Structure 1
Amino acid sequence: MGTHVDGLKFAGGSFSLFQEKPLRELIDLAHDYGVYVSTGGWAEHLLTHPDANSVFDKYLKKCKDLGFDVIELSSGFLSFPEDDWLRLVDKVHTYKLKAKPELGIQFGAGGDTPASDLEAIGTSDPGKLVNMGRKFLDAGVERLMIESEGITENVQSWRTDVVSTIMKELPSERVMFEAADPKVFNWYIREFGIDVNLFVDHSQIVQLSCLRQGIWGTADTWGLVQLLAHGFDAGELATARRKEAECNFSDKPARLLKANAPKETMLLSEHMVPTPQRQTAMDRLLNALEDHSADLEQQTTDDKDGTAPVPKVARLLRDGQGKFMYIGDSASLSFLQSVRRIVSLSIGRCEFTEDTSRHSMLEAFQSSSATQTGPLSAPPSNDEAQRLARQYVLATSPLLDLFDLEEFYPRLANWVENPTGDEDTVSSIFYLVLAIGVQVSEINQDLAEQYFISGRQLAFSAFTETPSLYTIQSYVLISMYMLGACRRNGAFMNLGIALRAAYAVGIHRKDANALFCARERRARERVWKSLRMMDLFLSASLGRPPATSDFDSDIGDQATIAGEQQRSQPEAQLSLCVVALCRIFDRILTEVYMRQVVSINVAETISNQHRAWVRNLPTFLSVQTERLSSKTLESMLAAAHVFGAYYWSIILLTRPFFIFRVSQYVRSKTDPAISSNDPIASASRIALFSDACVYSALRCLNIVDDLSRFEALPRRLPFLINSVFNSAVVLGAAFFAEYDNLLPLEEGMDKSEKFLGLFVPHDPHACRFYQIIKYLRGAVAEYVRRRNRQWMERRSKQVDQLFGQVGLTREASASNDNVTISRSGEQSAPTPLSPEKLATGSLSAQGPEQTASTGQSENDIWNTLCEPQGAAALPYDNTISTLTTTGIPIGCSPGGTLTTAQPGMGTDAGGQTPLSDVLFSENGLLYMAEDLSVFGLWGET
């Protein structure tokens, strides 16, 4: 039971129908399997009693005596002041029980009122729900229950905007949604992933569990066979099928909520340390891969030539259906895991390192009905079709450049008038363009899905035909739509079809394209460039080998491109910029990540291409980096796409050096044996590459920050969202090497959070990235707080050694008289979950204390209520994942110190560590002007 069920809830006051003995036995059975037990909305009934205060106290006392863990507080038919609800929460907590408030937007919820009647009553503002939820969380509530009536139950149309607001404004791991309908919980999982907390009916245990695990099946036999195949006990399934109660679900094993003894009150927190005996096979596999990777990194030896092998360990993550998917070294999620290890080594466990979704990748999937063929959707009016086509261009240009727009728009108008006049592959293209246009411009995605299904249906029908340019365009568009719909693995797979069709047609060869007329040649080259860009983007972001290669490129092509750019029209110049960027990405993936070695020589060679790219940048594109109020959204967004990809390419190239440098600095602070003043570092360029990574992240965020002033910004921009997320993770990690003392990292993090926040209501990926950045900022804040405290304590001791301290004993004073001021050998601050912190009680208690029942045990709960008087930290290897940097023989560290004060080094006005404490090797970021042109970022010297 505990494998699939986190909690068991008695609907309403249904527990009062039980005799006390069988009720206790049922509660004890739940506790034996690590399942907490909750009351239903019975408190609402008791609060209407004439002597509500006395009755409610007796109710809580009896619930405590019976072994209940959680008391639900619902308010569907009551209108209480906020302070009264908060006082009720405090009262529940005084009995060492957990309060679980139920929040909603519909007055009269919980009575199964018809939708028409509820609509007549009206709903409240979702902002009121969010504000109340925050107050409950601040009051110590660990889990909020969201009432479905008014949102997905008894409504004419679902209020998905309310759910998006809740997921954006409240911590998702502390919110649970009522979803007692298969269509509803299927939608929640599709939109927010398998980790979303759901409350469902007891009869839907198998259906939901199979849906979370990706094996799907509605019949009991099918579910039983699959569960047994995964190693679960049939007795557990039989227990979970009890009909007396309703169950609260998530995919988290109930072992995370297991109390120390059967009758102790359960915690709702998901941060308890799992015991090895109850770890599932899935968790063991994922954790084993992670630990093995760290062991290999630790064992890797330095190479004298500045290159080192990368641990050949695949990282497997679960997708939205519970299937394992491969994520490689260059992937954003792999980078994120490296940063998690750095944070864990620096401050210990926190929300960022213990993120419940860290072993899964957010992946939506279609319902079975959406994949069925049917009649094609009717095209929109010509004006609407043209508007949607412009939205498609706005969201994808110039990285995706499949069409000559001067020809495309008139042909689209003709197709709208006569949809059957073109062949199926052409119609497929128009449907898919419309689908992407609706996807990036509308809140409701139903129409986008209809157009997509029609376009994909027509594209599939071309399987029996000879591949053509139209076939390639169709599958590139399918891949683009799926990328925006949070279905990256599907996008990756469908792009493979386009790639094979491209090789069959021969658009990858210049000599083959030269055989066609100028118009046809340009079309073929345009499609190949777009295909290359999509392939490299998906390969880099997912860490998988690219499937395309620039077959005809050579060293002389750089000069050819430069000459062509000077003679071409602006549109052609922009296209050549993207082609050059593709070559840079290709070299980074093939020469760094695919070969699984990194060297300074390779990095410097690729940086030469970056400088050449900046030299050949068209003037009209350079102007877009300036803050001008007269710039249009179209020009700014096109420039942001280009520069976002450019800065991301630098981050990809320099990220290994950056991770190595930060991890070395963190190690030097936690292990005195590691010197932070490595003499070899001064003779290397590792520091410069590391600093370029941080600078690129800051400049990428500067580029996108100006876009937020446009109200017509598309609602989904996967290319930019990827660049912003990677930049934000870089800045967050940079705090742990003291980069914030010289660079505006906090300002950059604000920009990333602001930009991602624009897309949270519409894009599940942006919502997930936004949550990760929130967690990362929390870890950064904790690190900065400890660092500042340690610095203040150190300075205080030094001052006391100079002038003495009032209140010290003579022995203590005498012992300190001859102590030399030193900064070495300091102990790191205790981690949030260390025994020292737990002993001092600075953290919340690990569980409610068990109190003995003082009341007389009654045989009937109903009579009792209605009588005349009233009714430990996870183990962690001291190794840091450096992805492609393990074994670099340069022991540089950004945290060099000085033994004496230096001229001109004063105390930072912002209360941070003085520069004398954070002076970097080679003056760290304070490079001479001639050193700053490595990537063309600051112009040529």
Structure 2
Amino acid sequence: MPRPKVHPANRLRANTACTACRASKKRCSGYFPCTNCIHKGRGRSCTPFKSLPNAGLRNRPVPASRPTVETPQTSRGMAVDLQNPSHDIGTPHPEFDTLEAGSHSPEVTHQTHPRMLRNLQGERGMKNLRLSCTSFLTLSAVYVGKAASLSFLQLLRDTVTQHIGPSQFSHNGGSEDMLEAEAHHDLLNSSEECCTIDEKDRFIQNYHAATSGVFNLSLGDDILCPLIGPAEPKTDREKTRAAIIDLMVAIGAQTLPNDRKTLQVERFYFARGQHRTFANMLEDPSVDLIRVFLLMSFYMLGACRRNTAFMYLGVASRAAVALGFHADFPAPRSPDESDERNERSRLWMSLCILDLLVSSILGRPSAISPLLPENRQEPSWIEAAPADPGLVASYQLALILDEIINCLYSAKAASAQQADLLLFKLNAWGEYLPRSLRTPSLEHNDQRTFREHTIRNMHVACSYHFAVILVTRPFLVSVLSVRLARLHQSLSTSQPSHVPEEDPSHSRLAAACIDSAVYMLQTCLEVHMSGLLLRNMCILKAFIFAAALVIGFSMFSQRDVDPDIDDVFRGALTILRMLALQSAQAAHYLEIITKLEAAINKQRQQLAAQARQRRSRYVSRIFSLTDSPATPRTQNEGDEGEARNVTPLLSQSESVTSYAWLHSEDGTAPAVSPPMVDGALFDWEGMDLPLWDSFPFLAESTTM
């Protein structure tokens, strides 16, 4: 069976090779220390290749000197003084200005890379997710950046392949696809209502809970109540407000269990609201235009239409710029001006929060980011505007999140000094959180208000943990790569080679990444177990997926089982399983994490077998239905007589001598890492795949 073609953008090609591999023209794994240098015992001297600026010396390898920490740049190229940062959002204390000595550590090269994925909507995706209500077709390619969880997923797939070989998690025909559900264009009679006024009110209450802590459209009951009724709107303004009500009802229905009636309400009111939007509000910018596109974007996130949501946010951003929402204004001189200013401030903060969150999840440039002030402080009219604490906290956190993307992910490498500064800002932001955002509110008498308050606090907390994960994830990749190399070397029977020590500051940052993922999943699991979680959480499911990938990578990289880590990983599966009942995106995330769990179990089984084989000098397994039996040995044979266990990936009919590279030179059992051929790494991806044709995974391909 011929090997399927791989898109050039997705080939396993290192972004930067080390000096030794560059000089010997060998394929470098791109990790530092790389796999070649670890096998040859020169891991300590493995450094990224740096070319001279002189064109005449371009082809000469230059040994990399001790890495230096460059001054981070803002999105507009202005230098940031790390030793004396300005006291803007998140840096209120002078003690945060002094960084740790360990922050002057070598930079970490990003191992996640931007990718072009097919915007897949097709029957294959429906078959994988077992969804009967979605039809599909294949569209053009779309971009995801290196900060996206989808890019980290591909890195994790490559790592799993290097250590356990091809698997259902790492090898499938849909790794270049991005799942998007197709919109429904049902014919409707807009003059007829699908639900009563009381049902509308219940749906709008759910809408407020779903969007709590994410945005606030500044619509009071005096505006909403007259529009909920069945009367047909007459004027353009009434039609505009009626579209807003329709979209709020659709979002509220989207969060409830999908019975026939609720699904009909959701689709009807979104289709009518979308129709009214495009019919009346695309000629002139207005405040209501920003509102409806924010609502449609939020709905599309819940409907597994991330690219559509991203485009709708762009329309809302342009309308806000046209209306001057990004500018600073003088103090109001009348109560009417004060009310208008407060309304604009809440709407601007809502737009910033949703746009920066979605852009960071997809790894794409934000439409709002270039409009933010250089020092990332909010304008004075926002500081003076009264707003709910959850909205203000999420807005301030979104500014730090934008700084994380611009500082850490705009260059090829991330420095520990930059990460320390950003984490200090996040910690300072947390110190000034109101108590109401840290504790459950027990004074609420009704369940509706208590749920809204709880979901608001959960959104704020998970956004914080997601920001910490983005800061520390590059260092997690570096540290766990070294630990995996040391782990397999400790269990290998071949001659040990030198593996470099972990950088202490990188290890601390990696631990912070794992801890943040654990805290996020514990928080979500508590809310889920209390019965307060809605059935469709459009932002939360992306957070859970990002945290589960981090936890899964940690579990794959260690031999000892941590019960707490395993519990939160299973908790992520539990939440995704509930959300998957009516969310195609959550169902796909569940499929990926389930296959990652299978890869983790396989890694643990192989590590346990290697450890057992290494310590069993006097006994060997005689018979197995799945593996070839081990060769008997006597006590005199010593270390050279260790049992040779044929890898379970091979058929029993294959001769051991046919694949001599599967065994070390002294005849002992092979290490898990791929073989070396002529001094070069013979990667799993570089192998001739007919060897793996007997693999028992013939399932349909999955998508991203």
> Which residue identity lines up with residue 275 of structure 1 in the other structure?
P
Shift, 1:617, TM fit: 1.2
1:622 aligns with 2:344: no
Deviation of 1:410 (Å): 3.0
Match of 2:164 in 1: 347
Distance in 2 of aligned mates of 1:693 and 1:880: 29
How much has 1:714 moved relative to structure 2? 2.0
Match of 1:430 among 245, 251, 266: 245
Following superposition, the deviation at residue 880 of structure 1 comes to 12
Number of equivalent positions: 546
Equivalents in 2 of 1:416, 1:676: separation in Å?
A: 75
Match of 1:772 in 2: 592
Alignment partner, residue 786 of structure 1: 606
Cα distance change of structure 1 residues 423 and 772 upon mapping to structure 2, 3 Å threshold? same
Shift in CA distance, 838/756, structure 1 to aligned 2, threshold 3 Å: farther
Aligned 8 A contact 2:469 2:517 in 1: yes
1:772 and 1:475 map into 2 onto residues whose CA distance is: 31
Pick the aligned partner of 1:329 from 131, 142, 146.
146
Q: Which residue of 2 aligns with 1:392?
A: 207
Q: Taking structure 1 as reference, are residues 710 and 556 closer, same or farther at Cα in structure 2, changes over 3 Å only?
A: closer
Partners of 2:609 and 2:248 in 1: how far apart? 56
Q: Report how far residue 536 of structure 1 moved.
A: 1.4
User: Is the alpha carbon distance of 1:408 and 1:390 closer, same or farther for their aligned partners in structure 2, counting shifts above 3 Å?
Assistant: farther
Q: Please tell me whether residue 538 in structure 1 is matched to residue 358 in structure 2.
A: yes
Give 2:409's match in structure 1, choosing from 593, 596, 614. 593
Structure 2 counterpart of 1:607: 423
Partner of 2:11: 290
Residue number among 286, 290, 293 corresponding to 1:468 in the alignment? 286
Instruction: Tell me the distance in 2 between the aligned counterparts of 1:611 and 1:585.
Output: 13
Q: Aligned-pair distance for 1:583?
A: 1.1
Residue 67 (structure 2) pairs with residue 304 (structure 1): yes
Structure 1's unaligned 5+ residue stretches are 1-273, 801-807, 821-825, 841-872, 882-941
Q: 1:634 offset after TM fit, Å?
A: 2.3
Question: Where does residue 488 of structure 1 map in the other structure?
Answer: 306
Rounded to whole Å, the distance in 1 between the matches of 2:537 and 2:483 is 35
Seen in structure 2, the aligned counterparts of structure 1 residues 498 and 379 have a Cα distance that, compared at 3 Å, is farther
1:329 aligned partner, one-letter code: K
**Secondary structure class of the residue paired with 1:361:** strand
- Residue aligned with 1:403, SS: coil
CA shift, 1:717, in A, is 0.2
Alpha-carbon distance between aligned partners in 1 of 2:109 and 2:607, rounded to the nearest angstrom:
34
Secondary structure, counterpart of 1:510 in structure 2: coil
Q: Distance in 1 between matches of 2:360 and 2:445?
A: 34
Which of 308, 315, 321 is the equivalent residue of 1:503? Answer: 321
| Preserved contact between residue 577 and residue 617 of structure 1 (Cα < 8 Å) | yes
| Residue-by-residue CA offset, 1:587-626 (whole Å, 9 max, x unaligned) | 1111112334311111011011111111011112211399
| Partner AA of 1:315 in structure 2 | R
1:22 counterpart residue number: none
8 Å CA contact 1:377–1:450 kept in 2: the answer is: no
Write the distance in 2 (CA, Å) between the matches of 1:809 and 1:330.
49
Displacement after TM superposition at 1:650 (Å): 0.8
* C-alpha distance in structure 1 between counterparts of 2:181 and 2:540, whole Å: 20
C-alpha separation between the residues in 2 aligned to 1:724 and 1:809?
Answer: 47
SS in 1 for 2:617: helix
- Secondary structure in structure 1 of the residue aligned to 2:366: coil
Per-residue CA deviations over 1:489-520 (Å, capped at 9, x if unaligned) read 11111111111111101112232796872211
Equivalent runs, 1:88-103 vs 2, <5 Å: none
In 2, Cα distance between the equivalents of 1:512 and 1:833? 71
Q: CA deviation at 1:715?
A: 1.6
Relative to structure 1, the CA distance from residue 349 to residue 654 in structure 2 (aligned partners, 3 Å threshold; closer, same or farther) is same
Instruction: Judge conservation of contact 2:390–2:457 (CA < 8 Å) in 1.
Output: no
Separation in structure 1 between the aligned mates of residue 379 and residue 190 of structure 2, nearest angstrom: 52
Residue aligning to 1:80: none
- Contact 2:302 2:536 (C-alpha < 8 Å) held by counterparts: yes
Aligned partners of 1:795, 1:364: CA distance in 2, in Å?
52
Distance in 2 between the 1:312 and 1:704 partners?
A: 27
Structure whose CA Rg is larger: 1
Do structure 1's residue 813 and structure 2's residue 534 form an aligned pair?
no
What is aligned with 2:37? none
Structure 2 residue identity aligned to 1:449: R
Tell me if the contact between 2:112 and 2:151 (Cα under 8 Å) persists in the aligned partners.
Answer: no
TM-score (norm 2): 0.69
Q: Which of 413, 420, 434 in structure 1 is aligned with 2:234?
A: 420
Q: Equivalent of 1:363, from 180, 193, 216? A: 180
Change (3 A) 1:312 1:336: closer
Answer whether contact 2:674 2:682 (CA < 8 A) is retained: no
Quote how far apart the aligned CAs of 1:335 are.
Answer: 0.9
- Give, in whole Å, the separation in 2 of the partners of 1:339 and 1:428: 43
Structure 1 residue 437: deviation in Å? 1.2
Q: What are the within-5 Å matches in structure 2 for residues 653-732 of structure 1? A: 653-669=471-487, 678-679=500-501, 681-682=502-503, 684-711=504-531, 713-732=533-552
Once the two structures are TM-superposed, the CA of residue 454 in structure 1 deviates from its matched residue by: 1.1
Change (3 A) 1:519 1:630: closer
Distance 1:765 1:580 in 2: 28
The aligned amino acid for 2:215 is L
Q: Please state how far the C-alpha of 1:827 moved relative to its aligned partner.
A: 12
Q: CA deviation at 1:353?
A: 0.8
Rate the CA distance shift 1:385–1:739 in 2: closer, same or farther, 3 A: farther
Match of 2:117 in 1: 317
- Alpha-carbon distance between aligned partners in 2 of 1:452 and 1:446, rounded to the nearest angstrom: 10
SS in 2 for 1:291: coil
Write the deviation string for residues 885-935 of structure 1: whole angstroms up to 9, x where unpaired. Answer: xxxxxxxxxxxxxxxxxxxxxxxxxxxxxxxxxxxxxxxxxxxxxxxxxxx
Scaled by the length of structure 1, the TM-score of the pair is 0.53
Choose from 561, 579, 596 the match for 2:395. 579
Letter in 1 for 2:593: I
Q: What does the per-residue CA deviation read over 1:322-374, in whole Å, with 9 as the maximum and x for residues that have no partner?
A: 2211121111111111111111111111111123432211111125x44x786
CA gap 1:670/1:602 in 2 versus in 1, 3 angstroms: same
Q: Given that residues 617 and 635 in structure 2 are in contact (C-alpha distance below 8 angstroms), is that contact kept between their aligned partners in structure 1?
A: no
Structure 2: 5+ residue runs without aligned partners? 18-27, 31-47, 50-63, 69-105, 122-136, 621-629, 657-672, 686-704
RMSD after superposition = 4.0
The reply to whether residue 275 of structure 1 matches residue 2 of structure 2 is yes
Question: 1:317 aligns to what SS in structure 2?
Answer: strand
Larger RCO: 1 or 2 (CA < 8 Å, sep 6+): 2
Say which SS state the counterpart of residue 575 (structure 1) adopts: helix
Contact 2:618–2:635 at 8 Å: present in 1 too?
Answer: no
| Alignment-derived partner of residue 77 in structure 2 | none
- Report the secondary structure of 1:326's partner residue: strand
Change (3 A) 1:581 1:289: same
Q: Deviations over 1:839-886 (max 9, x none)?
A: 69xxxxxxxxxxxxxxxxxxxxxxxxxxxxxxxx999977899xxxxx
- How far is the alpha carbon of 1:407 from its aligned partner? 4.5
Q: Is the CA contact 1:831–1:837 (under 8 Å) kept in the aligned structure 2?
A: no
The separation in 2 between residues aligned to 1:746 and 1:760, in whole angstroms, is: 21
Q: Which amino acid letter does the alignment assign opposite residue 587 of structure 1?
A: E
What are the residue-to-residue correspondences of 1:644-659 with 2, within 5 Å?
644-659=462-477
Structure 1 residues 383 and 559: CA distance shift in structure 2, 3 A: closer
Per the alignment, residue 213 of structure 1 pairs with none
